Structure 1
Amino acid sequence: MNKAAVAHPASGGEQDGLPVPRRHWALAAIWIAVTMAVLDSSIANIALPTISAELGASPSSAVWVVNAYQIAIAMLLLSMASLGERVGYRRVYLSGVAVFACAFLGCALAGSLTALAIARFIQGFGSAAIMAMNGALIRHTYPREGLARGIGYNALVVAISSAAGPSVAAGLLAIATWRWLFAVNLPLAIVSIAIGIRALPEARGGATRFDLPSALLNAVTFACVFMIGSDMAHATASLRTAGFAALGTMTGVILVRRGRRDENPLIPLDLIARPALRLSYLSSITAFAAQMIVLVTLPFRFQTGLGLSHVEIGLLITPLAVGTAIAAPIAGRLAGRPSSGPLAGIGMFVVALAFLSIALLPASAGLIPCAVALAIGGMGFGLFQTPNNRIMLTMAPQRRSGAAAGMLATMRIVGQTCGAIVAAAILRIDGTNGALPLFVASTFALVASVFAGARSQVSRMRLED
């Protein structure tokens, strides 16, 4: 890398993006880490049956390899966002990548399911830092006029990584043990850190302190929410679930009360109070819930109704991610234009129609119409995600970039968790071969479209004023 290109760091967010070629190096560091995180989620899910068999664990116990990771992310996302505003986005991001890399080694060397779950929990710490800082770093890397395009390219990287995940996992498992699924990511982490140290912007937000009590309250609250969701999804609700609900409610109330007295609260009440941002958060939750309902239930429908193999199911669902990868950069180019306001709402309306069409397809229609509908739905999601993410990042003050990025990632996790809970409930009620999940997912997508359309109207009125 050219030393001259990285000799002068961004000055605390005052500079409008990074100069070229430093900008390109910074994006390389960001996208390598994002690719690593997305691939890790995909390959861990694919490897669960193999891990369960080799470590002598039951399938229900093996799920904790995924749950431990998700709980850690949910607990720490907003705390990492707040920490980034205090000590700097680059420092938190690179620390997260380093923790992620060390945890990869722990996963690869784990000799029991407990050790693997602990390593995955620690890995969730690193992933939370990466996810919480990703949007803030993108915002400080791109100039303002190119930010929408940058968000679109970031969504493209995520979509390609998601689409490639099952194939990468299947290929590695065909030639090596499951441990290599984790070890193979170590070189990527090292490269991301080496580039990021020299190229990432050194911006930070306006926070003057890190509120440790609020961070602890936040961790307990989100851990309780996740455990309640897990119990509901697995139909194991009990007195323990009620205890989690009581504890989570108490810590959540205390956390909100503390936030009302803070200028830069860990729970960003100042951002939630803005109508356009609030509607964007709601549209993000419902959009990701719709997507997750389909991703969870459609494989069951394909397997029980059509008798497809796991490989065939993976290939059939891939067009959803491919469609997003195609549309996201296009949406990035359109999102910065004054006429692009309705783009997100139109995108989710397309998603709703795509899911509805799959639900109405007769069994004799074959697989191609379903694959085409999923690709169209993916394109609609790409048209939605880029402009919606742009609003969530840019309508927050520059000094609150970390909080804005943290909320963006948190809304995604909340939406996915809600979608998984709804999907599990539908599967218990309607079985694995019905079309009810697709009708429900279509409804969620339509609600997301309404929220996005309302947000577009609010934003337009604000510009007129």
Structure 2
Amino acid sequence: MTDLRHPGLPVPQRYHAMAVILLGIAVSVLDGMIVNLALPGIVRDLQSTPSHAVWVVNAYQLATLALLLPLASLGDRVGYRRVYLVGVAVFTAASAVCSLADSLPLLAAARALQGAGAAGLMAVNAALVRLTYPTEQLGRGIAINSVTVATASVAGPPIAAAVLSHASWPWLFAVNVPLGIVLLALGARVLPHNPPASHQPARLSAADVLLNAAMFCLLFLGADVLGARAGGTDRTGLLLGLALLAGAVVAGVVHVRRQLRRPVPLLPVDLLRIPIFRLSMGTSLCAFAAQTLAYIALPFLLLDAWHLSAGRAGLLMACWPAGVIAAASLAGRLIGRYPGGLLGAIGLATLSLGLGLLGAAAGTDAVGTVWWQMALCGLGFGLFQSPNNHTIITSAPAHRSGAASGMLGTARLTGQSLGAVCVAAVFAFAGAHRGAGPQAAIVLACVFAGAGAVFSGLRVRHA
């Protein structure tokens, strides 16, 4: 594992820089989750259809996925601070356009631009944390960052509900504008500088960027089509989904072969040759797929199968992020004392146990046990996330911190997309509004978490 000794930023600049970094990543993650509740209002106001309105969500996700690695690589070349600030500027301008959009095509295009800006924030987020904290305190910084990402991932619907109860959907985007201005002003003053790596080429290859975008976009779209058509008889949709996945495979093969010849590849195949980095990617992918499977399935179980009130269901769901927050401070103190692979394996085994208990409860009416099972899931996820992120960042050479940061975000988004597609497939076969569908999805989440625990445990011998 690379051991980069540096002093970080002095106090209080360190705290100011972390405030900017955390606010930026929270806003970018939230905006990927916050729009779902607004879709009915968007359909009504812009006179569109639900099937078309889904592109308000997809455009953001596709742009972020497609640009994470190119912008991370650009950060290694020109400096993380510069990429971050440009990302904030693009995100802020796009948010203003979203709030003023009077047609669905304009809103979807602005959301894609917003996703591009968010990719700039996400791509160099962990690399900036690495520059902000001294080496001996980096675990603490990554733990705080991980809690922020985890909390923002589940806070989207409640925040959207609060905004929409008092204002119309354009305000979901308008609130980003003053926040973005504050981030730009403060970030220009307090974010750490890193000298661009002199041994890296100044420019990215346009062909590499396009192939990277094609690979991730075709994979996302193909999986989305197949998930939506699962269990149905629509052969045209099935063939379209398979064709998109085949296109993703072709683009991926060509892309990887090109990257193998690059001294500093955009798709960091050089980092994937490091066993502990490769296993950490598998761990992260499985963990976020498990989390997303559970997050989507649980509301259907609580509201439709068990007929709980929205308020009670929300309180039960809140036990999960509460567990994440409770485990984060402990994880931050344990990083460096114990192998990250061991901590991750214990955390994901705990998550798998919690999901297994939830899956068993889903077949009964044991509502009274759900709160502590949710909390157990959160504790497990919180114990896994910070040590795993710390391993990903520190196992990469210092001059490849941006690439490692980009892969961290890519694994998270890809895992979330995989989990969402798996939920769609399970619900198509077993139904969403009866207990059987949510139960099957939660059991599948348990399997993903167990697989992640195995990947994490295998890292111990490489520590």
Normalised by the length of structure 2, the TM-score is 0.92
Name 2:304's counterpart in structure 1.
304
Identity of counterpart residues, as a percentage?
Answer: 44
Displacement of 1:309 in angstroms is 4.8
Aligned match of 2:357? 357
Runs of 5+ unmatched residues, structure 1: 1-12, 460-465
Counterpart of 1:443 in structure 2: which amino acid?
A: V
Q: Deviations over 1:364-397 (max 9, x none)?
A: 6553421221111011101000000100000000
| One-letter amino acid matched to 1:96 | G
Select the residue among 436, 449, 454 that pairs with 1:450: 454
Q: CA deviation at 1:446?
A: 0.7
Matching of residues 48-447 of structure 1 within 5 Å: 48-203=39-194, 204-205=196-197, 207-209=200-202, 210-235=204-229, 237-338=237-338, 341-361=341-361, 365-432=365-432, 433-434=435-436, 435-447=439-451
Deviates more, 1:13-22 or 1:135-144: 13-22
CA drift of 1:414 comes to 1.2
Residues in 2 aligned to 1:251 and 1:107: alpha-carbon distance in whole angstroms: 31
Amino acid at match of 1:37: S
Q: Tell me whether 412-421 or 391-400 shows the greater mean CA deviation.
A: 412-421
Structure 2 gaps of 5+ residues are none
Contact 1:156 1:329 in 2 (8 A): no
126 and 340 in structure 1: CA distance in 2 versus 1, 3 angstrom threshold: closer
1:76–1:219: 8 Å Cα contact kept in structure 2? yes
Q: CA offset at residue 72 of structure 1?
A: 0.6
Indicate if the aligned counterparts of 1:159 and 1:322 stay in contact, CA closer than 8 A: no
8 A contact 2:340–2:388 mirrored in 1:
no
Deviation at 1:162, TM superposition (A): 3.6
1:45 is aligned to 2:39: no
User: Aligned with 1:307: secondary structure?
Assistant: coil
Task: Go from structure 1 to structure 2 and tell me whether the alpha carbon gap of 1:313 and 1:117 turns closer, same or farther (over 3 Å shift).
Answer: farther
Cα RMSD after superposing both structures: 1.8
Deviates more, 1:253-262 or 1:280-289: 253-262
- Deviation, 1:31, is 1.0
More displaced stretch, 32-41 vs 81-90: 32-41
Query: Hey, what does 1:3 align to over in structure 2?
Result: none
State the distance in 1 between where 2:127 and 2:150 align: 19
Distance 2:64 2:178 in 1: 23
Aligned mates of 2:153, 2:221 — CA distance in 1: 26
Give the letter for the 2:41 counterpart. Answer: T
Return the letter of the residue paired with 2:210. Answer: L
Equivalent position of 1:8 in the other structure? none
1:23–1:16 Cα change, 3 Å: same
CA contact (8 A) 2:294 2:445 kept: yes
Taking a change above 3 Å as real, the CA distance of residues 65 and 314 of structure 1, as seen in their structure-2 partners, is farther
Indicate the SS of the match to 2:42: helix
Q: CA deviation at 1:339?
A: 5.6
- TM-score using structure 1 length: 0.92
